[in-house]
Amino acid sequence: MSEAAVFLVMVGVFVLLAMAFKVPIGISLVFSSATGMLVSGRSISLRHLTEGSFGYFDTILIILTAMIFMKVIQMSGLLDTLTAFFIQVFYRKKGRLLLVVMLLIMFPGMITGSSTTAVLSTGALVAPVLIKLGLPRLKTAALIAMGGIFGMVAPPVNILVMIMGSGVDMPYVGLTVPLLVMVLPLAAGTALWLGYKDINIISETKMRHILPPSLYQKFGLRLFLPLFLVFFLLLGESLFPRFFPRLGIPAIFLLGSLSGIFSGKRFNFFAATQNAVQEAMPILCILAGVGMFIQVMTLTGARGWTVISFLSLPPLWLYAGIALSMPLFGAVSAFGSASILGVPFILAMIGKNAVLTSAALSVVAGLGDLMPPTALAGIFAAQVVGESNYFKVLRFCLVPALFELIIGIGFLVLTPYIDKVI
């Protein structure tokens, strides 16, 4: 069976199981991967299935611990306290509120290069503020999801560019300006577009009425310990890597969560972790399944077929191919998209400035975190606002995502001219 046919069978089995038989997505992916091996004339290899899923081992740990952290700051009273603080400061200044909120969401992504970290840390903090000030839940989630993606792409840490850079021996220098030129207008525009119409300017009386209980008077600065600890460790590891212990993001979230036991309201930590695991399990299962799926795609040659098909596009269609394939491949992983497709695309445009090309490609690849079934940014943003169907959130991401795509591709097309300016 040809590689293309193997790929189609894998997709077919997945769609059949997930849609017609309502088998959980993760499990459907396992069966479609196993089918892929069989129809390509191989036996079912547990080693390959396991190895593929381990491609997401770190991501799975980050998600799991970030979810625990989110539960802890909710249960300790920190979330309510911060919401109260933001509402008191910004209840009459919606433009500034939206811009500050967008920056806050982006910040963890900027220092870790991970949209999930951004969505599940500061995204979770600002969501109640926006909702209480009148922004509908779904739009709030869309703003958080887009903020997470902008944070992932924005400097100083853009893992997508680093991955592409390592494939073409390009050092990670000179990226700050081009990335900021693309991301800042997008971030500001998205925040205002999604929020300006709906956020209400309210009276002080109404503000007092919607204010959640602040525990600051009772616990003082101690309440903020989990947040301080997480940011201190994340920043320290990013800014002073030579002097800081290399803990990794999962351990940082876990330490932050543990500190929450002593920082505010008393709560059952074990119940918090149980709750977090329960909520995170479907996406963790999807990630493991996607890992197996891509391993089998590679094993059977379906990955090679996909890449060469896009590279076979005529030159004029190359940009269309990039616009289509990089976000689509993000359904597997945005980082995977940067590595598997980003590197060949940079090389296909070898005459252009690789720094600018990779920066633009990273903006396009970032959209992969909105692409189902993984859709990390979309899924977790939906979870943050309590929405079970993340497709409803993705609907509101469509316009900002389209602008992101236009800016990324426009930057790519205009690289020779931009090169002379910045």
Partner 1 sequence: MKNKGYLISAGILLVLAFLWAGLAGRAFLKMFREESLRPSSGLTSKKMLSDYASVLTNTPGDTPVFVYEGSKKGGRALILGGTHPNEPAGHITAVLMLEHIKVQNGTVFIIPRANNSGFTHSDPQEGNPQEFFLKTSTAARRFRFGSRLTNPVHQWPDPSLYINPSGQKLSGAESRNLNRCYPGREHGTLTEKIAFAIVRLIQEEKIDLAVDLHEAALEYPVINAIVFHEKSAELAAIVQMELQAEGFEFRLEVSPPNLRGLSHREWGDFTPAFPLLLETANVSQGRLKGKTSQELILTGKDKFYLRAFELGRLFVPYDSRGIPLKNRAASHLAAVSTFLANMAFFAPEKKIHVTGLPRPEDLIKNGLETYLVPGSFSDRDQVRKIHIILHGQMPLFSR
Q: Which residues bind partner 1 (CB under 8 A)?
A: 3, 40-55, 57-58, 111-114, 157, 159, 162-163, 165-169, 171-173, 237-238, 241-242, 246-251, 291, 294-301, 303-305, 307-308, 311-312, 336, 339-340, 343-344, 347-348, 350
Q: How far apart are the C-alpha atoms of 115 and 379, rounded to whole Å?
A: 11
Minimum CB distance to partner 1, residue 293 (Å): 9
Select 37 or 199, whichever has its Cβ closest to partner 1.
Answer: 37
Select 106 or 294, whichever has its Cβ closest to partner 1.
Answer: 294
Task: Give yes or no for a contact between 122 and 129, defined as CB atoms under 8 angstroms apart.
Answer: no
Minimum CB distance to partner 1, residue 246 (Å): 5
Q: Write the CB contacts of 326 (distance below 8 Å, at least 6 apart in sequence).
A: 337, 338, 341, 342, 345, 361, 364, 365, 367, 368
* DSSP for 175-205, written as a single string: -HHHHHHHHHHHHHHHHHHHHTTTPPP--HH
Minimum CB distance to partner 1, residue 318 (Å): 11
Select 52 or 260, whichever has its Cβ closest to partner 1.
Answer: 52
Q: How far apart are the C-alpha atoms of 243 and 156, rounded to whole Å?
A: 19
Residue 288 in 3-state DSSP?
A: helix
Task: Give yes or no for a contact between 233 and 44, defined as CB atoms under 8 angstroms apart.
Answer: no
Select 120 or 297, whichever has its Cβ closest to partner 1.
Answer: 297
Select 94 or 303, whichever has its Cβ closest to partner 1.
Answer: 303
Burial annotation 297-306 (CB, 10 A radius, 16+ → b, else e): bebbbbbebb
Minimum CB distance to partner 1, residue 307 (Å): 5
Minimum CB distance to partner 1, residue 234 (Å): 8
Select 188 or 313, whichever has its Cβ closest to partner 1.
Answer: 313
Select 85 or 305, whichever has its Cβ closest to partner 1.
Answer: 305
Minimum CB distance to partner 1, residue 144 (Å): 20
Task: Give yes or no for a contact between 327 and 371, defined as CB atoms under 8 angstroms apart.
Answer: yes
Minimum CB distance to partner 1, residue 196 (Å): 33
* DSSP for 298-337, written as a single string: HHHTHHHHHHHHHHTS-HHHHHHHHHHHHHHHTTT-HHHH
Minimum CB distance to partner 1, residue 332 (Å): 9
Task: Give yes or no for a contact between 144 and 105, defined as CB atoms under 8 angstroms apart.
Answer: yes
- Taking the CB of residue 181, how many other CB atoms lie within 10 A of it? 17
Select 211 or 307, whichever has its Cβ closest to partner 1.
Answer: 307
